[in-house]
Amino acid sequence: MMAINYDALMRQAFPDLVRSYSWRDTILYALGLGIGTDPLDPAELAFVFEQRLQAMPTMAVVLGHPGFWYDRPEIGIDLRSVLHGEQSLTIHTPLPPEGVVIARNSVDEVIDKGEGRGAILRVRRDLIDQASGALQSTQVMSIFCRADGGFGGPSMGKPQPESVIPDHPPDLSILRPTLPQSALIYRLSSDLNPLHADPDVARAAGFERPILHGLATMGIAAYALIAGCRAGDAAALRDLRCRFSAPLFPGETVRTDIWNLDDAFVFRCTAVERDKLVLDRGRAVFA
């Protein structure tokens, strides 16, 4: 098997992607997160009704994705062992409910964890508001390449913020239901991988049924944080990051446990029905 080609990855070039989105896209994204389950709740309605509409900050992660670009043989990644491990989102200016953005993707770093320990590929995306030229957000997707360690690359990466979960009960726990059709709705905003829709594909991948997108679980946690820590003010969120631990199944209830550390909130998410940790080492910073 070919080893990761570090130089080829670091030279990878991406064209700028221009993405326009409307208020309908903003509402569809929020519905995919289960927002609007209580249509009489003004806090939820603010994300799913075109009057006084707010965009969920995490919608930035579905705008301007470069596609499945790392499947080329010369890059040397074993695609059978690739997982979306972590995600970060830094918000420089709130995402408007409709507009046009320019996405600039780049390989941020590739870390060699060593033979038998895998590698980490971090892909950065800057979103720029086309009308103003302002940098709207910076996001980094960390891809864990489980079978690709030991290629001779750097063993250390850029420093990452600490997201240690305290060893005491949370300051706040928020329950959010998901709908059985959550993945079918969310995929219309983002990833059309049949793993999230086709039971046969899901079973072939080792799951009992289609799973929800990891980024949707992140969005559900973001709404819990915005509702519970900032009374529904989406514009207050400045930074969000987490690690994906296990898949969530559509229809399950998500419990987001939150700890207030004064300068930040740390959090994790559990699928209540299975008592399964699905998202860990979360960290959120508000203005």
Pure H helices in the chain: 6-11, 23-32, 42-48, 182-186, 199-204, 214-230
Question: Judging by DSSP bridges, how do beta strands 237-244 and 276-286 pair with one another?
Answer: antiparallel
CB 211 within 8 A of CB 244: no
**Catalytic positions:** 191, 196
CB 141 within 8 A of CB 114: no
In this structure, what are the phi and psi dihedrals at residue 277, rounded to the nearest 5 degrees?
A: -70, 120
Q: Is residue 238 exposed (0-12), middle (13-18) or buried (19+ Cβ within 10 Å)?
A: middle
| C-alpha–C-alpha distance, residues 193 and 149, integer Å | 26
| C-alpha–C-alpha distance, residues 63 and 103, integer Å | 7
| C-alpha–C-alpha distance, residues 35 and 223, integer Å | 8
Instruction: Report the candidate in 54, 55, 139 with the shortest Cα–Cα distance to residue 103.
Output: 139
